[in-house]
Structure 1
Amino acid sequence: MQPTSIRLSASVLGLLLSLVSTAAFADSEPTVGTLSPISLPNVSPANSDLANRGAYVARTADCMACHREDYSGGVAIETPIGNIYSTNITPSRRYGIGNYTEADLKKALQKGRSPEHQIYPAMPYPSYHGMSDDDISALFAYFQTVPPVEEPPEKTTKLPFPLNIRTLMLAWNVINVPSTENRTGLTPVQQRGEYLVNNTEHCGTCHTPRNLTQGLDKDRYLSGAPLGKWFAPNITPDNNTGIGRWSEDDIVTYLRTGKLDKRAYAGGPMAEAVAHSTRYLTDADLSAMAAYLKVVPVIKTDDYLIPLNTARLPNPISSSITYDLIEQEKYISQAKANSVTNASINSINSPKALYLTHCVSCHGVDGYAQPDARYASIVGLSSIRRAKPDALVNVIGFGAKGALNTAPKMPGFEKDLTHAQIASIANYVRVNFGGLATSTVTESDVKNIMK
């Protein structure tokens, strides 16, 4: 039950989105009180209070990101040992967990053991190990109300020998379960936040680096980790490499909406977490998570955030161009004409010409995009201001999906652009929309990052 991240013309930056973010500078956001939770699906007056509470627990545990909104499973979870496919967890007796007792569900969540075999830790039971009995009881009651899906997932897990020997997980569990330990000296609100961050939301599953056994490295807790084509950033309260400059309200806003103006925009795995889970949480629970994240041990990494220089950011071309498509089309046509004055290869492949060809229709000449159409503004985003350009390069190359279904999907340009062209666009964006004085991403950098 975890984001597909661990698994383990639109435009080139459909949002440089990715990346869950990092240090905050810039404009203020709406206060928490103005951001009410999305109405929770699957809550019915016909169900018991316990089952309806279980529907909320399922959201806090982000079960849907892996098992789909109907819990039918079949989602590929990329891991270092190969793809592991999520299972059907509807109450189907033949294909799902309809034969589970509450004790069976508890053992699966806390011990990684189904009635038939050991479970691979792609299902984050090292984090769910700390789930309370009350939450598991509510979750069990809720799953009895879910419509059964009477068919198996299209794909099932088939790992090569000896990785297909599930009993090997018993030794792994001894080393790596539980994935975290409770701290002392926390307030009741921070304790609730710790429970959500460490256990149900299992944030460390993405944001904590792995040790040699592929368990979570507790000494580098929440300091950022690679996730295939993605990188989950440092979310400890370090000012320069983490989210130390974010206020608690900033954290709540980001978890509720998936964005912070001129700072961060959730894409990829984090978009899934927002879409399926955090946007449904109560203000109290999001505030508790924020309170806890502000007091976790600070860890400084080498991927620091270059401070935002607002004086170097572009001004909007006009007050109407983000929504006036006729004005936008005229301006883009003139900009292209001015940029590409002949057919020479240098003009065609100039950074500005590449941006105008592949990115401008969504993100605009000035980078402020079309917010009314949910195309993302890329001005000032932290993902284009990091010392390491990996996040930006991977989004340009592989694309990204935003946090809400109504947001356009960012296409990947891996097959349409050369490594040199991606490097040119990355440099253009970092300087013109990130406010950097210079950017020196090379063709070789792009090749290495995208591998």
Structure 2
Amino acid sequence: MSNFSHRLRRVLVLFAGCLAAASSHAIDRSPETAALIKRGEYLATASDCAACHTVSQAKPFAGGLPLNSPLGTIYSTNITPSNNFGIGRYTEEQFSQAIRHGIRADGANLYPAMPYTSYSVLTDDDVRALYTYFMLGVTPVDVRAPDTKLPFPLNLRASLKVWNLLFLNTHTYQADPHQSAEWNRGRYLVQGAAHCSVCHTPRGFLMQEEPRLELSGGQVGTWYAPNITSDAASGIGTWTREELVEYLRNGRLRGKAQAAGDMGEAVEHSFQYLSSADLEAIATYMKSVPPIHDSRDSTSRFTVGRMSSDLATLRGADGIRSDNDGNPTGAELFQGNCASCHSAEGQGSKDGYYPSLFHNSATGSVNANNLVATILYGVDRTTSKGQAYMPGFGGKPNDFTALSDREIALVGGYVLLHYGLADRSITAQDVAEVRRGGPTSPLITLARAGIAAGVVIVILALAFLIVRGRRRAL
């Protein structure tokens, strides 16, 4: 009995030792590992991973966020170290393949809504830091994210192998020896972690970025990511380095621009937390980006418009008049919904919390989608400077207080006429498109037509061979 007890004690000691070793490995907190986790967390912030992969702050990185694309809704994945629903079983090499080449651990391809086309330039050291952070610094969340179900044939992920061969850069960042260390750091962040081109570069027929038009502006779902090249009229060439840093840190540049939509999220979750050195490096690089001019821009969107008011002419015994059908006019809608914050003259509040409607990128751009999206969805951005908030007027289904597409077109047109680009119009159809999630792509229809044509050709070819074979037999 004593011999059995002795053996049992040895087994228990060995078992406890194994558990201790496994636990020690799982929660390795050596100074080197702790530093790597911290670096990985910074890189994850710079990459704005939370914006797409976090729906609830109670479950960070658990995925499930619906992302509107011209081809359909794509759901972000769970990137916590959950063994069942996340990336807990990924090796470092599999993790690298996913974020740099868009290939999951099971060999399937990721849709390029995940910006692996930008992350491909990340260095091995940075990928290792990210991997360490997600495996040891993130809490596992055992929740399955919804599956993405794009229409046929885009649901065939294997087709992305061809897309990657055509458009994916497989080389990590190479520093330019003719430029400063600050400039190279800025370019590395802009082209890599910050993935600026993913939003700000127009897309081609196959949804690929157009390199010759890099950073000249692109539609991203409901929002338009404007030209951020160094062109003085179409881009941000008139901004100073200090202004660029201020905008990235706080999401606003008084008298010029305010971050909303995806850019508001980028400021809130990413840019405001970057070091001053990195923000200055980004600004240094951005000032050197080659200018790309849009021929429709005769002047900078940041200087368009002036203060004006129709209020004096609208006052009278009958108040502000509606149109002949009894529907509200743009003037009435503006006075009832906008003037209390932005003032009847459109100059905003004295402290700048409510921005001016003139000298404002949303009203001075030839693309009015951001003005429409702002009216529909509002602004909600929080930084160290506080919260910037504007309610959306698009409402929800059966919300009788919401503005209709026609009413938003009227108030948007009134704002443009009096404070912005007066020759730009907004129609109810424009509003409806933004409300639906932005422009769609004809790629699905054309791909289906191409497949159908291919099938017909194959059938005809087989029929021809069969008929010819029978004739020879005769």
Q: TM exceeds 0.5?
A: yes
- Structure 2 vs 1, CA of residues 419 and 167 (structure 1 numbering), >3 Å: closer, same or farther? closer
Offset at residue 372 of structure 1 (A): 6.9
Following the alignment from structure 2 to structure 1, what is the Cα–Cα distance between the partners of residues 305 and 45? Answer: 41
Offset at residue 424 of structure 1 (A): 3.6
Structure-1 residue corresponding to 2:138: 146
- Structure 2 vs 1, CA of residues 267 and 442 (structure 1 numbering), >3 Å: closer, same or farther? closer
Structure-2 residue corresponding to 1:406: 387
Following the alignment from structure 1 to structure 2, what is the Cα–Cα distance between the partners of residues 83 and 55? Answer: 28
SS in 2 for 1:95: coil
Aligned partners of 1:306 and 1:387 also within 8 Å: no
- Structure 2 vs 1, CA of residues 431 and 342 (structure 1 numbering), >3 Å: closer, same or farther? closer
> Does residue 1:104 correspond to 2:94, yes or no?
yes
> Does residue 1:49 correspond to 2:35, yes or no?
yes
Structure-2 residue corresponding to 1:359: 338
Aligned partners of 1:206 and 1:232 also within 8 Å: yes
- Structure 2 vs 1, CA of residues 369 and 45 (structure 1 numbering), >3 Å: closer, same or farther? farther
Structure-1 residue corresponding to 2:415: 429
Structure-1 residue corresponding to 2:21: none
- Structure 2 vs 1, CA of residues 305 and 235 (structure 1 numbering), >3 Å: closer, same or farther? farther
Residue correspondence of structure 1 range 198-213 to structure 2 within 5 A = 198-213=191-206
1:216-236 per-residue CA deviation (whole Å, 9 max, x = no partner) reads 111111110112221111110
Offset at residue 294 of structure 1 (A): 1.1
- Structure 2 vs 1, CA of residues 313 and 182 (structure 1 numbering), >3 Å: closer, same or farther? farther
Offset at residue 78 of structure 1 (A): 1.7
Q: Count residues in correspondence.
A: 388
Aligned partners of 2:357 and 2:419 also within 8 Å: yes
Q: Which letter maps to 2:101?
A: K
The structure 2 residue matched to 1:136, chosen from 127, 134, 139, is 127
- Structure 2 vs 1, CA of residues 243 and 339 (structure 1 numbering), >3 Å: closer, same or farther? farther
Structure-1 residue corresponding to 2:237: 244
Following the alignment from structure 2 to structure 1, what is the Cα–Cα distance between the partners of residues 90 and 138? Answer: 14
Offset at residue 198 of structure 1 (A): 0.5
Structure-1 residue corresponding to 2:306: 312
Offset at residue 340 of structure 1 (A): 5.5
Following the alignment from structure 2 to structure 1, what is the Cα–Cα distance between the partners of residues 332 and 227? Answer: 34
Structure-1 residue corresponding to 2:457: none
> Does residue 1:255 correspond to 2:236, yes or no?
no
The 10-residue stretch of structure 1 (271-280 or 441-450) with the greater mean CA deviation from structure 2: 441-450
Give the structure-2-normalised TM-score: 0.73
1:85-141 per-residue CA deviation (whole Å, 9 max, x = no partner) reads 111111111111111121121111111112112211111111100001111111111
Structure-2 residue corresponding to 1:395: 374
Following the alignment from structure 1 to structure 2, what is the Cα–Cα distance between the partners of residues 139 and 390? Answer: 35
Offset at residue 429 of structure 1 (A): 2.2
What are structure 2's unaligned runs of at least 5 residues?
Answer: 1-28, 440-474
1:311-349 per-residue CA deviation (whole Å, 9 max, x = no partner) reads 93369xxxxxxxxxxxxxxxx9x9986596276536973
Following the alignment from structure 2 to structure 1, what is the Cα–Cα distance between the partners of residues 289 and 304? Answer: 30
Offset at residue 393 of structure 1 (A): 2.9
Aligned partners of 2:52 and 2:76 also within 8 Å: yes
SS in 2 for 1:159: coil
Following the alignment from structure 1 to structure 2, what is the Cα–Cα distance between the partners of residues 228 and 193? Answer: 27
Structure-2 residue corresponding to 1:157: 148
1:183-212 per-residue CA deviation (whole Å, 9 max, x = no partner) reads 843322111111100111100000011122
Structure-1 residue corresponding to 2:167: 176
The structure 2 residue matched to 1:119, chosen from 110, 121, 124, is 110
**Structure whose alpha-carbon radius of gyration is higher:** 2
Offset at residue 159 of structure 1 (A): 2.4
> Does residue 1:195 correspond to 2:179, yes or no?
no
The structure 1 residue matched to 2:425, chosen from 419, 437, 441, is 441
1:243-263 per-residue CA deviation (whole Å, 9 max, x = no partner) reads 110111111111100000010
Q: Whose RCO is larger (CA < 8 A, sep 6+)?
A: 1
Following the alignment from structure 1 to structure 2, what is the Cα–Cα distance between the partners of residues 232 and 207? Answer: 5
- Structure 2 vs 1, CA of residues 444 and 138 (structure 1 numbering), >3 Å: closer, same or farther? closer
- Structure 2 vs 1, CA of residues 51 and 355 (structure 1 numbering), >3 Å: closer, same or farther? same
- Structure 2 vs 1, CA of residues 443 and 106 (structure 1 numbering), >3 Å: closer, same or farther? closer
> Does residue 1:284 correspond to 2:292, yes or no?
no
Aligned partners of 1:51 and 1:139 also within 8 Å: yes
Aligned partners of 1:110 and 1:125 also within 8 Å: yes
Structure-2 residue corresponding to 1:10: none
- Identical aligned residues as a percent: 36
Following the alignment from structure 1 to structure 2, what is the Cα–Cα distance between the partners of residues 339 and 258? Answer: 43
Offset at residue 380 of structure 1 (A): 2.1
- Structure 2 vs 1, CA of residues 369 and 214 (structure 1 numbering), >3 Å: closer, same or farther? same
Following the alignment from structure 2 to structure 1, what is the Cα–Cα distance between the partners of residues 235 and 122? Answer: 27
Offset at residue 440 of structure 1 (A): 5.5
SS in 1 for 2:387: coil
Aligned partners of 1:394 and 1:449 also within 8 Å: no
Following the alignment from structure 1 to structure 2, what is the Cα–Cα distance between the partners of residues 171 and 310? Answer: 44
SS in 1 for 2:67: strand
Q: Which letter maps to 1:100?
A: Y
Offset at residue 412 of structure 1 (A): 3.3
Offset at residue 359 of structure 1 (A): 1.5
